[in-house]
Structure 1
Amino acid sequence: MASYTIGIDLGTTYSCVAVYKDQKVMVIANEHGLRTTPSVVCFMDAEILVGQAALDMRAITPTNVIYDSKRLIGRIYTDPIVQGDVKNYPFKVTNGKDDRCLISVERNEADGKKTKLYTPEEIAAHVLKNLKKTAEQFLRCKITEAVITVPAYFNNCQKQAAKNAGEIAGLKVLKVLTEPTSAVLQYAHDNKGAVNGLVLVFDLGGGTLDVSIVRIDNSNIEVLSTSGDTHLGGSDFDSVILEYAIAEIVKKYSIDVLDDSRAKAKLKVECEKAKRTLSIMQNANIIVPNIINGIDIQIKITREIFNSLCSELFARIDKPIDQALEEAKLTKDNIYKVLLVGGSIRVPKVKEQLSKYFAPDKMVQSINPDEAVAVGAAIYAFQMSSSQLQRSEKICLEDVVPLPLGIKISKERMHFIIDKNTKFPTSTIEKNPSKMTQEELDKIIAEFKDDCKRTEEFKKAHELKNTCEDIVREIEEEIEAKSSKYNLSSEFMPNAKTEIKTYINWTNQYHTVLSNTEVKSKVNIVKNAIMKIVKDPKTFEELFRDMTL
């Protein structure tokens, strides 16, 4: 059986998985037929939802729906950026060992309500495991290896955290590749060595902005400089619209939804939709029926207002571009092409900001901004897989250190050992007190597996319950229609009808915890009652095969 190494773009808001198969790259669609999956996880009482199913729960259980975990991964809790973010999250983020971020979730279990603590790596791992499963279903084989991408401006701690997330999800991470470099890999691969020159990659996603300048010489890719903003992206635009909407609701309806997590979650969903609408239209309406106390709200926002509200965010685009050009000792006129990557490049003002630097004919429109990073990762994964390497047209890659590395010698001073934009490979000894030990990682992996096992058991029990319900309902209808299959005058008929009603009523209840044993026990009772009124017990025994204890 063939084995594959997949490429994964682990995004702040959406993630994507791709594979190199049959001499081409395939972006793998999820169960909904979509080629990107929301990087969202919802902790229900007995199961864990990932992707669109989790996203759909935001307005129902906002405190248990976790998103933007990539903004927390590898960061310490007291980081000012983290502190700025946690104020806006409906879910709770707390301070853990060694100043690590921990996400607190309330879950009902068999022995009562419990507070569960999860690391950002575990949240990311659930997204990665979901993508791994999607790839396995498509390729019909087990996946154990992957190349995962991260923002170019991620520090070593953040990169290691992303690698840990892969390990928790059951993946051996062959390489943590930077997102702009990955996008360039696709561009170089698609053009089959026909591209030569300096390329600037502008990658504006859901949570981060990366700018890298790369020299492409046939199949050789050399990163000259990289810069960025690890806290600038689509999520920030969403937050600005949300703040505007909350203020407008106070003015127009005299209600404040700021402290109502459910109302705020409903509003956030519509604000995100409004942002996407404003990318193609001049106006958008933010409409939320029954936002609170039966009140329906409608707020209008124009592209002009949106641009004004986000003006400070848009202004921050310039610095990474200027910095990348300066550090590469280049001017904007030296740039041959500009690759536009990430969903947020669709915002018109972003392209307008870029047009101050580069003419429209330099903007590459041939790559899919949502998929380019995953595609590049799949190409690199293909090259790294020893079983496939001989069939690959190898692309040589030289990357750089995105941030200076050194030793802190006082509160405000640092002695640099490795300068920013130093070419790999290079090495130094890095001491990181917040780094996860192997023992801690092993413990998290064990807990993660237990959580996943509980989710699978709940799903199987739920499917069994529903299958039995269909059978029992059909039998109930046949009895009502006086079918000849049953001894209608039997003394056991009243009891059978009672047990049928009891089972159906039980299935209609909401079950926070459910096991196969519990379902089979319930089915056992109703089956035994039905068997006493049927004329052909063998036929009905077959109906309930493997469904009872």
Structure 2
Amino acid sequence: MSTAAKTYIGLSVGNHNSVIAIINKDHRAEVIANEDGEHKTPTYLAFSGDEEYHGSQAKHQIVRNAQNTVAGFRDILGKAYTASMAEQHAGFAAIEASEDGGAVFVIGDLRLSAHDATVRYLARLRTTAEDYLGRKIDGAVLAVPVWFTGEQRASISAACADAGLPLLQLVTEPAAAALQYGLGRESSGDSVAVVVDVGGTGSDVSLVAATGGLVAVVASAHTTAVSGEVIDDVLVRHFAAEFTRAHGVDVMGNARAVRKLRQAVEGTKRTLSSATSAPCAVESLAEGIDFNSSVNRTRFDILCQRTYAPLLETIEKVVKDAGYELAQVDQVLLCGGAARVRRLQARVASLFPEETEIRDDAAEELDEVIAAGCAEQAALIAQGGADAQAAADLKADVLAHVVGLQISADHLAPVLRKDTPLPAARSVSVALPKGETRAYIAVSEGEAVPPKPVADEDDEEEVEEEEEEAAAAPLYRPTRLLAEMVLELDAADESTRVEVTFFVGSDKKLTVTASEPVSGKTITAVIPQ
């Protein structure tokens, strides 16, 4: 985006693809096309003789020149070399230990560190953005996985500097996604959301809390058991078996044929997200034999259904570890290219009650969400939105417990929810019975009430009664009384209301003020941390 002659971009660098976004003149996130007219730039480098390739051209080298193709360097950045790195990248440029204990890619006589590979790639992305916009880039907000260590964050910051890409801020991927979905805006209110990011090499699940301009990541987990690659593997095995049955040729034993088939099924998978069937065609797949086939969505869903279970388990674990019930999640935010698979979306939705909103509407494509969120963050920085900037970088403190009005010994009406980013303020209006001259206000901490399981009964009426009881039960119960306040009033009538305001500052001190606007009477309690 351009503000006072400054041009800022949002940037998502994934292990498979990277995306650049800006805020356009209509104040909407817009993804920049690269030199090939594509919105996604594959995160690959390749070398052939004196030629160096980037993005799509590098990815095309995989079939014939895999040993000189560099992939997966983002996650290696800032890490010490391990033998598992070489195993995970088998089939691409070899990885060895460097003299300083890091990892280097070996391409003939060239030894390319993860830092050098990242610098070359980021410099190309900067050039792509500048060529598209026709002006110099003055700053970028870049997303990193929430599980990145301090060393990895420092390494990618250093790579940005060496690539001539001015770094405004690193933000976590779930925070960027939440911003793009509109969480944390002043008008969006409080929200607890689960961000489900299904990427090319793994999935990240994060629970985020958002309130007026602030977003905080509460809990997260990473799994490699569900990813675009895992789904691709299912399709590769399916079509390879079909080819073997038709021609008696073992495709899985031919590394080059597998790479060709893998590139083809990526397109098949994308097509199935919007169509009921999709083709898969590979010229000269093996022994000079062309391959042409197709798969419908129903068959695809049957093939892949077992691969989704680890993602569902990860979602349940993250919500539980954060101290929440699934019923307390307001929204599920989907992002990442593989999250467009419709059956996977349906399986995720099945975990939550109908009231939970399942969203995939933040961008034209789900793998563009994070970059667009980074562009939104860049716009906030340009406008001086310091609070939003800090929150997206996980610098905001959060409330440790739900706080609200104690209605009874087993019922708490929440006012500020657990994990609300601080500072925060909320007000509620309390009606009084006619003729009442005293307003009693009890302020308590609380906890969520686990939903009561419904018995598996044959009697439908009994089951319905249990469901109604569970629906009527309070969602929170008080655990610790913080303050009791009594506001003396004139006799209340039908219009009398007491306004109760809760404010928690960055010091976590709670101030509760009860006032009656007509008489101007007020009382305040201050509860230290």
Into which bin does the TM-score normalised by the smaller protein fall?
A: 0.5 to 0.7
Alpha-carbon spacing, 1:393–1:174, altered in 2? closer, same or farther (3 Å): closer
Which of 14, 17, 20 pairs up with 1:17? 20
Deviations 1:483-503 (A, max 9, x none): xxxxxxxxxxxxxxxxxxxxx
| In the alignment, structure 1 residue 213 sits paired with structure 2 residue 210 | no
Which of 26, 30, 38 pairs up with 2:34? 30
Equivalents in 1 of 2:88, 2:233: separation in Å?
10
Alpha-carbon spacing, 1:164–1:252, altered in 2? closer, same or farther (3 Å): farther
- Following superposition, the deviation at residue 307 of structure 1 comes to 4.2
SS in 2 for 1:203: strand
Which of 299, 304, 316 pairs up with 1:322? 316
1:152-191 equivalences in 2 (<5 Å): 152-188=146-182
Alpha-carbon spacing, 1:259–1:64, altered in 2? closer, same or farther (3 Å): farther
Deviations 1:503-523 (A, max 9, x none): xxxxxxxxxxxxxxxxxxxxx
SS in 1 for 2:181: helix
- Following superposition, the deviation at residue 373 of structure 1 comes to 0.8
- Following superposition, the deviation at residue 301 of structure 1 comes to 4.7
Which of 372, 375, 386 pairs up with 2:372? 375
Q: Which deviates more, 147-156 or 246-255?
A: 246-255
Which residue pairs with 2:7 in the alignment? Answer: 4
Equivalents in 2 of 1:257, 1:173: separation in Å?
45
Q: Check whether the contact 1:104–1:117 (CA below 8 A) recurs between aligned residues.
A: yes
Q: Which deviates more, 52-61 or 9-18?
A: 52-61
Which residue pairs with 1:228 in the alignment? Answer: 222
What are structure 1's unaligned runs of at least 5 residues? 107-114, 402-420, 425-549
Which residue identity lines up with residue 68 of structure 1 in the other structure?
G
Equivalents in 2 of 1:230, 1:174: separation in Å?
30
Q: Check whether the contact 1:153–1:229 (CA below 8 A) recurs between aligned residues.
A: no
What are structure 2's unaligned runs of at least 5 residues? 396-418, 423-529
Which residue pairs with 1:117 in the alignment? Answer: 111
1:26-425 equivalences in 2 (<5 Å): 26-78=30-82, 80=84, 82-87=85-90, 89-97=91-99, 99-106=101-108, 115-188=109-182, 193-229=187-223, 232-258=226-252, 260-281=254-275, 283-298=277-292, 301=295, 303=297, 306-307=300-301, 309-358=303-352, 359=354, 362-368=357-363, 369-384=366-381, 388-390=382-384, 394=388, 397=391
Please state which structure has a larger fraction of its residues in strand: 2
Which residue identity lines up with residue 59 of structure 1 in the other structure?
V
- Following superposition, the deviation at residue 258 of structure 1 comes to 4.6
Alpha-carbon spacing, 1:164–1:134, altered in 2? closer, same or farther (3 Å): same
- Following superposition, the deviation at residue 189 of structure 1 comes to 7.0
Equivalents in 1 of 2:131, 2:373: separation in Å?
21
Equivalents in 1 of 2:149, 2:304: separation in Å?
27
Equivalents in 1 of 2:178, 2:88: separation in Å?
31
SS in 1 for 2:323: coil
- The TM-score, its normalising length taken from structure 2, stands at 0.65
Q: Check whether the contact 1:219–1:395 (CA below 8 A) recurs between aligned residues.
A: no
Which residue identity lines up with residue 219 of structure 2 in the other structure?
S
Alpha-carbon spacing, 1:298–1:179, altered in 2? closer, same or farther (3 Å): same
SS in 2 for 1:317: helix
Q: Check whether the contact 2:16–2:42 (CA below 8 A) recurs between aligned residues.
A: yes
Equivalents in 2 of 1:262, 1:190: separation in Å?
47
- Following superposition, the deviation at residue 324 of structure 1 comes to 1.8
Alpha-carbon spacing, 1:286–1:126, altered in 2? closer, same or farther (3 Å): same
SS in 2 for 1:255: coil
Q: Check whether the contact 1:223–1:399 (CA below 8 A) recurs between aligned residues.
A: no
Equivalents in 2 of 1:55, 1:398: separation in Å?
32
Deviations 1:277-302 (A, max 9, x none): 33345554433222233222345555
Deviations 1:240-268 (A, max 9, x none): 33344445444443334456443332222
Alpha-carbon spacing, 1:190–1:327, altered in 2? closer, same or farther (3 Å): closer
Which residue pairs with 1:521 in the alignment? Answer: none
Q: Check whether the contact 2:138–2:166 (CA below 8 A) recurs between aligned residues.
A: yes
Q: Check whether the contact 1:18–1:374 (CA below 8 A) recurs between aligned residues.
A: yes
Equivalents in 1 of 2:283, 2:111: separation in Å?
34
Q: Which has the higher contact order (CA 8 A, sep 6+)?
A: 1
SS in 1 for 2:196: strand
Equivalents in 1 of 2:315, 2:390: separation in Å?
25
Which residue identity lines up with residue 57 of structure 1 in the other structure?
Q
Q: Check whether the contact 1:71–1:207 (CA below 8 A) recurs between aligned residues.
A: no
Equivalents in 2 of 1:26, 1:323: separation in Å?
34
SS in 1 for 2:234: helix
Which residue pairs with 1:430 in the alignment? Answer: none
Alpha-carbon spacing, 1:394–1:86, altered in 2? closer, same or farther (3 Å): closer
- The TM-score, its normalising length taken from structure 1, stands at 0.63
Alpha-carbon spacing, 1:334–1:69, altered in 2? closer, same or farther (3 Å): same
Equivalents in 2 of 1:383, 1:66: separation in Å?
35
Equivalents in 2 of 1:191, 1:50: separation in Å?
37
- Following superposition, the deviation at residue 310 of structure 1 comes to 4.0
Equivalents in 2 of 1:202, 1:339: separation in Å?
6
- Following superposition, the deviation at residue 35 of structure 1 comes to 2.4
Deviations 1:138-185 (A, max 9, x none): 333322532211222233343333333323322243322111100112
Please state which structure has a larger fraction of its residues in helix: 1
Deviations 1:462-481 (A, max 9, x none): xxxxxxxxxxxxxxxxxxxx
Which residue identity lines up with residue 381 of structure 1 in the other structure?
A
Which residue identity lines up with residue 102 of structure 2 in the other structure?
R
Alpha-carbon spacing, 1:78–1:395, altered in 2? closer, same or farther (3 Å): closer
Equivalents in 2 of 1:203, 1:365: separation in Å?
11
Alpha-carbon spacing, 1:391–1:322, altered in 2? closer, same or farther (3 Å): closer
Equivalents in 2 of 1:399, 1:5: separation in Å?
17
Q: Which deviates more, 172-181 or 182-191?
A: 182-191
Alpha-carbon spacing, 1:189–1:132, altered in 2? closer, same or farther (3 Å): farther
SS in 1 for 2:367: coil
Deviations 1:312-366 (A, max 9, x none): 5311102321222122211111111111111111112311220222338601233
Aligned length: 391
